[in-house]
Amino acid sequence: MEQQSGFYSDLLYLLSVAGAEDAYKILTFLIPIGLAWYIYRKVKSKRDLQNQALFLAAKEAGLGDPPVSLHPVIDQNSCLGCATCVDACPEGNVIGVIREKAQLINPSHCIGHGACKSVCPTGAITLVLGNEKRGIDIPLLNSNFETNVPGLFIAGELGGMGLIRNAIEQGRQAMESVRTLIGGMSSNVPYDVVIIGAGPAGFSASLCAHQHELRYVTLEQEDLGGTVAHFPRGKIVMTAPVQLPIIGQVKFSETTKEALIEFWRKAEQRSGVKINYQDRMDTIDKTDDGFIVKTATAEYHTKALLLAIGRRGTPRKLGVTGEDQTKVVYRLADPAQYRNQHVLVVGGGNSALEAAISISEEPGTTVTLSYRSNAFAKANPKNVEKINAAAEAGRLNLQLKSTVKQIDEKHVTLNLEHGELKMKNDGVIVCAGGILPTPMLKTLGVEIETKHGTL
């Protein structure tokens, strides 16, 4: 303040001693600068308020904590508030400047691109895994992507490194390491390598195995693309040019989810790589000469194993009659596909509530939400509020303390506290969480480290 009044008094003194012509020149020089400075401050403080509002909204929705996946931590002492990181983030609105300091204003939208870290002029940003409240289990890998269990390799997000480009690159490199390892091993075992998962990491590894004529099999519990296939419709995918085995340099940097999956689908056809879809690895046993991988229908004896199963896990099933029908899914892809239909959503977490809300907003739908408890203790208050409002408005049928008894072609039956309820049904969405891979890794003897905000 003192400095400012000194500046103004100096200016007034300068204008009083200057002749009229000089004073005019000084003012024509200073007025545009002052105006530009005023506009800049106004825009900045407006943005500051918007960022604060976004941060508060995320907090209120229970999404204020940093994600457990790779995310930036910003050292407030070294941050200049220059907003270079804000502009560099490909997801937009993840970082914002509040009171001259950058911070995560929409943490749950961070997917770990790391562009913020690369552009920060003062090195104030570090990338970490896990947070103070929730740790993330990361298997320990050597530089060849091999775990402490010989012959067991891990690539992609399961190893802690997210992003499509990294997963593709790791899948290729891990398979090159598998190739080197199996070169000197016994040949009585029928498979050189079993690859589990056909997301970006597993797909790239499969292409590499195919290129080198290894005896391989790839098992995928769902379809090609992994997590990418579950991105919201039309999501813009940010990636970087990468080398895909057999196919060569892929130059995508910004594309849509649909275009990327279509490209991979064509690459699959062109290369002749073979992937067993809808084939889930159930168990892995270690043997003296490798591993035995079991699925519901087959058993594979292999020298080496590459786990490229990401971190989403395997969707938990209900285990009821009729669950094997195609109308039963474990994730909502597109609410519009349920227009004019009778739909049952099962679960009490955020994904169940969000699925039920979005379907209930589609014209002509009759939505029932079934949950085994009597309250939604695991969901965000905002989602619970929306569910209750939809139920009160008659847009949704809420069945608490209920479980699914049976799923028929045109109906579904719920067990209620007192009796049963048989309803018309065209589709069932089960959001009962996932079975995570960590316990299986521990059983196999893989060393795991839990990260709480470190890399």
Ligand X SMILES: Cc1cc2nc3c(=O)[nH]c(=O)nc-3n(C[C@H](O)[C@H](O)[C@H](O)COP(=O)(O)OP(=O)(O)OC[C@H]3O[C@@H](n4cnc5c(N)ncnc54)[C@H](O)[C@@H]3O)c2cc1C
| Residues of the shown chain interacting with ligand X in the complex, contacts defined by CB under 6 A | 111, 156-157, 162-165, 167, 196-202, 219-222, 226-228, 231, 237-239, 280-281, 308-310, 312, 314
Give the amino acid at 335: P
| Shortest Å distance, C-beta 138 to ligand X | 13
Which letter does DSSP use for residue 302 in this model? E
Least Å from the CB of residue 114 to ligand X: 10
Distance CA 380, CA 60 (A): 9
Neighbours of 115 (CB within 10 A): 18
**Residue closer to ligand X (CB basis): 351 or 368:** 351
Tokens 């786990």 correspond to 307
The smaller minimum CB distance to ligand X, of residues 111 and 352, is found at 111
Is the CB of 105 or the CB of 242 nearer to ligand X?
242
Strands 299-307 and 403-407: unpaired
Query: Residue 281 CB, nearest distance to ligand X (Å)?
Result: 4
Which tokens is 31 given? 């007025």
Q: Which is nearer to ligand X, 243 or 321 (by Cβ)?
A: 243
CB 313 → ligand X: shortest distance, Å? Answer: 7
Of 221 and 366, the one with the shorter C-beta distance to ligand X is 221
Q: How many CB atoms lie within 10 A of CB 83?
A: 14
CA–CA gap between residue 75 and residue 53 (Å, rounded): 22
Give the nearer residue to ligand X in terms of CB position, either 226 or 347.
Answer: 226
Strand-pairing partners, residue 400, are 371
335 DSSP 8-state letter = G
360-365, long-range: CB < 8 A, 24+ apart:
360/390, 360/395, 360/396, 361/335, 361/395, 362/335, 362/336, 362/338, 363/339, 364/339, 364/340, 365/338, 365/339, 365/340, 365/341
Least Å from the CB of residue 432 to ligand X: 16
For residue 372, the minimal CB distance to ligand X (Å) is 25
Least distance (Å) between residue 43 CB and ligand X? 29
Residue 173 φ/ψ, nearest 5 degrees: -65, -40
To which residue do tokens 């545009």 refer? Answer: 32
Cβ closest to ligand X, residue 229 vs residue 346: 229
